[in-house]
Structure 1
Amino acid sequence: MIILKRHLTALTFGAILAVAGQANAADPVKLGLINPIKTLIGKQNVEGAQLAVEMLNQDGGILGGRKIELVTYDTNFSPPEGVAAIQRLLTQDKVKVIAGEISSSVALAAIPVVEGEDAIFMAAVPKHPDVTKSGYDKVFRMNTTTAQDAKSFDTFLLETIKPEKVAILAENSDFGQVTIKHMKELFGNKLAYSDTFGMQQNDFAAMSTNARSSGADTICIVGSNMEQYGNILRVLSDLGFKGHRCLMPGILNSEGVKIAGAAAEQAFSADIYVPAIDNAFNKRFVEAFQKKFGRKPEKIEVLGFETVWIAAKAMDKAGTADDTAKIAKTIHEGKWETPRGEVTFDKNGQASSGELLRLSVKSGEIVVDR
């Protein structure tokens, strides 16, 4: 009787463990998402991430059927708010991977916090080179850096546009400051004027007037917030500026064009993605995005999508949602299919997918210049 009772107890305990194991296996995998969600660009990045979750879950989830769940916080383009959001995700929500973000300043402030918890950071949009130079091997960046952009775009500016004088209006962020420094090195005494604007600023009359009065025939704008650069284009048009309008690579977006209206016509830029890219994955992505959100996706949405898609696929391939070393190693070593094509990462976690596409605004549409 005692032997039988012990046997039944062992069976019961084993059954409890089995049920618990099944419950754990069925639990969703939580991914953290940070963005300035009150802005157009932040909302676009979030929408890309949301679609990635939807498509992954439609395809059966990861790790034997576990669904993906996003936990999202607002950073408000503010490093202190970004750090607070990441601390909540890591300590309160217990996530192992954090995706998203627009601001280089927020990303740079976030990295030490992520490293302190041995987590993974899939940065979507931040362009400052230092984002992938911390030495921490679990930071990845989907967007191009200002240095990558320069390899192609500098040649275009110097050999095709051939400006006599240049003015630059840049957001007061790490991205803006590093771009001003680069433009000074590129153009030397041809840089007639430079100024910065705050991330919450909405009056650009004085700096636009100064840029026009400098004699510049080309004015370049550095601003991740499309509400801001769209309004700068409008002010320049109202002032009667007739020269070239350059939006530095990676920021031209149809929502910014809508804000600028006719003032965006013939403005030029460059980027890594347009919705017309011809591959099966992109066709599926564009169709799904249009169905869900009622418009075509652009680069910002793709970068948000990629941060979640690649992180989840890497978890699945590594066979774990918790071992960040295995997940990071899998990301580093993999070749990842995304809507823009094949994406790989260098030893620092910087993504690469080919040459920039030259873009301009014609009849209110962003087109690829052949």
Structure 2
Amino acid sequence: MNPTSLKAASVATVMSALCCTTAYAADQIKVGFLSTLSGPGGALGADIRDGFELAIKHSGGKLGGLPVELTVRDDQMSPDVGRQETQRLLKRDKVDVMTGTVFSNVLLPVLPSILANDTVYLSANTGPADYAGAKCNKNFYVVSWQNEDLPAAMGKYVTGRGHKKVFLIGANYPGGRESLTGFKRFYKGALADERYVKMGQLDFSAELAQLRASGADAVFFFLPGGMGGAFLKQMAGVGLNKTLSIYTPGFSGDQDTIKGVGASMTGLLNASQWSTDLDNAANRRFVADFKKLHGRIPTMYAAQGYDAGMLLDGAVRDVKGNIEDKDALRRALRAANFQSVRGSFKFNTNQYPIQSFYMRQVGPNAQGQLDNKIVGTIMKDYSDPFAVSCRMN
């Protein structure tokens, strides 16, 4: 499927050619895919979409045996646009399930109306703290991570690296603030400074001057989408990549950033729950077929979109297509009866994953392409700190 034509279209419909059998209660499943498909974060939403569509392809063009109507909308990284498109998906398109949103500043404003409509939402990326604890909800499932998780893993790793002072920089939105909080939750050392920048900012000359003057010998940053690539290129441009140790979650160490930054990323350490070299059958198939279909190495965003699709496929299969029985569908989703590309997968009580986190390092793969390789495990079977406040059974 041509990504360019998908980006230009407001709606993409994927229908199977065969009708379901009479054993299934529903004729089809309608999935609303709302994501950022344009602007600096557009590549992230496109990767989640491509991963989700590959899951449908691997499920025989269906989800759990049901034909799929997939409606794709671009939120343009705008809460207002997100609200408008959400209402269209819920009220006009009457979708059964929603997924796809990249950024928490879009998801948080639209999620209350989705949950109030008793619609299941599968988060293939952001995992806000708001719904990880006391506000956990039966219709909200996070297939990726809690926003603090990857930064917390990096904070734990950096603690043992012997740095004198670490400079923190993050995007000033919920996901960015939670990310720096996560780093500080496990980092046991001195901080040089902590700075927040506007979402979408691409000029970091002022921040790099502050970083140089701070006396830091390391920097940890969370700058999603094109922001991270711009930051790394500008660090290299002034030589700070040679004098400072650079750490980031996997978001800014992945293929979307590698493509834009290039060879100066070699050696970059980044934390993730997934990597192309995780050795399990589901991941090998996913990576190989994604490369074949799209001509590029998949990102963690694509892997998360794929897992969201396979989770839904397994749940619909387990309820034998009876998606109108929402309690049964929710139980089946929580059981997570599918093969994840990250290996073992299970939900915590708050319906956020319990999972392991790895240290990845950017370097050439066997084909000479820059990719990530796992160089160690930071945390095993980690549970986010908010789950203890969730009262769901």
Task: Give me the TM-score of the superposition, normalised by structure 2.
Answer: 0.81
User: Retained in 1: the 8 A contact 2:202–2:231?
Assistant: no
Shift of 1:99: 1.1
Q: Which amino acid aligns with 2:199?
A: M
Matched, 1:157 2:158: yes
- CA distance in 2 between counterparts of 1:188 and 1:271 reads 20
Matched, 1:314 2:315: yes
User: Retained in 1: the 8 A contact 2:152–2:185?
Assistant: no
- CA distance in 2 between counterparts of 1:223 and 1:324 reads 37
User: Retained in 2: the 8 A contact 1:49–1:301?
Assistant: yes
- CA distance in 2 between counterparts of 1:286 and 1:189 reads 38
Matched, 1:258 2:264: no
User: Retained in 1: the 8 A contact 2:254–2:299?
Assistant: yes
Aligned match of 2:330 in 323, 328, 350? 328
User: Retained in 1: the 8 A contact 2:228–2:252?
Assistant: no
Change (3 A) 1:26 1:98: closer
Shift of 1:267: 1.9
1:40-119 aligned at under 5 Å gives the runs 40-58=43-61, 61-62=62-63, 65-119=65-119
Q: What SS does structure 1 have at the residue aligned with 2:267?
A: coil
Shift of 1:207: 1.2
Q: What SS does structure 1 have at the residue aligned with 2:72?
A: strand
Shift of 1:103: 0.8
Shift of 1:139: 0.3
Q: Which amino acid aligns with 1:56?
A: S
Bigger mean CA offset, 117-126 vs 293-302: 293-302
Shift of 1:244: 0.4
Shift of 1:152: 3.7
Bigger mean CA offset, 33-42 vs 257-266: 257-266
- CA distance in 2 between counterparts of 1:108 and 1:324 reads 23
Matched, 1:228 2:227: yes
- CA distance in 1 between counterparts of 2:335 and 2:118 reads 19
Q: Which amino acid aligns with 2:313?
A: A
Per-residue CA deviation, residues 157-188 of structure 1 (Å, 9 max, x unaligned), is 101x2221111121111111123334456568
User: Retained in 2: the 8 A contact 1:102–1:224?
Assistant: no
2:385 is aligned to none
Shift of 1:369: 1.4
Shift of 1:338: 1.9
Q: What SS does structure 2 have at the residue aligned with 1:338?
A: coil
User: Retained in 2: the 8 A contact 1:266–1:362?
Assistant: yes
Bigger mean CA offset, 210-219 vs 191-200: 191-200
- CA distance in 1 between counterparts of 2:306 and 2:289 reads 12
- CA distance in 1 between counterparts of 2:152 and 2:206 reads 32
2:371 is aligned to 365
Q: What SS does structure 2 have at the residue aligned with 1:57?
A: coil
User: Retained in 2: the 8 A contact 1:223–1:251?
Assistant: yes
| Structure 1 unmatched ranges of 5 or more | 1-18
User: Retained in 1: the 8 A contact 2:32–2:99?
Assistant: yes
- CA distance in 2 between counterparts of 1:106 and 1:236 reads 29
Q: What SS does structure 1 have at the residue aligned with 2:302?
A: helix
- CA distance in 1 between counterparts of 2:98 and 2:339 reads 20
Matched, 1:145 2:146: yes
Q: What SS does structure 2 have at the residue aligned with 1:341?
A: coil
Per-residue CA deviation, residues 215-269 of structure 1 (Å, 9 max, x unaligned), is 11111110221x2111101111222211101112444212202212233232211
Report the count of equivalent residues: 344
- CA distance in 1 between counterparts of 2:184 and 2:323 reads 45
Per-residue CA deviation, residues 45-103 of structure 1 (Å, 9 max, x unaligned), is 11101111222234xx356x431221111122222222222221111111111012111
- CA distance in 2 between counterparts of 1:178 and 1:193 reads 16
Bigger mean CA offset, 90-99 vs 282-291: 282-291
- CA distance in 1 between counterparts of 2:82 and 2:359 reads 32
Matched, 1:172 2:184: no
Change (3 A) 1:127 1:245: farther
- The structure number with the bigger radius of gyration is 1
Task: Give me the TM-score of the superposition, normalised by structure 1.
Answer: 0.85
- CA distance in 2 between counterparts of 1:180 and 1:351 reads 20
Query: What is the percent sequence identity of the aligned residues?
Result: 22
